Amino acid sequence: NAGVTQTPKFRVLKTGQSMTLLCAQDMNHEYMYWYRQDPGMGLRLIHYSVGEGTTAKGEVPDGYNVSRLKKQNFLLGLESAAPSQTSVYFCASSQSQGSREQFFGPGTRLTVL
């Protein structure tokens, strides 16, 4: 039981390049989330999904796209990376009912030059 996994762990991009971050969970959770964490800012929600095939915008969605083609996977895409997207990205998942305790992946550290 791996919980929530993220790939890659680290990535350096040049401005304008694109990339996809992959999140996978094996807990059969309905809800999945992408956050970014910047110093002194806590976690800010980028996009989230309440089920396979559905996605919605969070607090800071601009410059990102997501897809949830399979229940266990949630992909975060950057079409044209900008230095402002330098951050640590966390994926999380939770049940749809009850406490909705969130389970987090280990994070992806992204640097955009």
Partner 1 sequence: SQQGEEDPQALSIQEGENATMNCSYKTSINNLQWYRQNSGRGLVHLILIRSNEREKHSGRLRVTLDTSKKSSSLLITASRAADTASYFCATDPGSYGQNFVFGPGTRLSVLP
The DSSP code for 105 is: -
Q: Among 1, 74, 4, which residue's Cα sits nearest to residue 34?
A: 74
Q: Measured from the CB atom, is 4 or 81 closer to partner 1?
A: 4
Q: Measured from the CB atom, is 14 or 42 closer to partner 1?
A: 42
Residues that bind partner 1 (CB under 8 A): 4, 33, 35, 40-45, 48, 50, 56, 58, 90, 92, 99-107
- Smallest distance from the beta carbon of 6 to partner 1, in angstroms? 8
Instruction: Quickly list DSSP for 56-100.
Output: EE-SS-TTEEEE-SSTTEEEEEESS--GGG-EEEEEEEE-SSTT-
- Smallest distance from the beta carbon of 82 to partner 1, in angstroms? 22
Q: Measured from the CB atom, is 49 or 85 closer to partner 1?
A: 49
d(CA 75, CA 22) in angstroms, rounded, equals: 5
- Smallest distance from the beta carbon of 64 to partner 1, in angstroms? 16
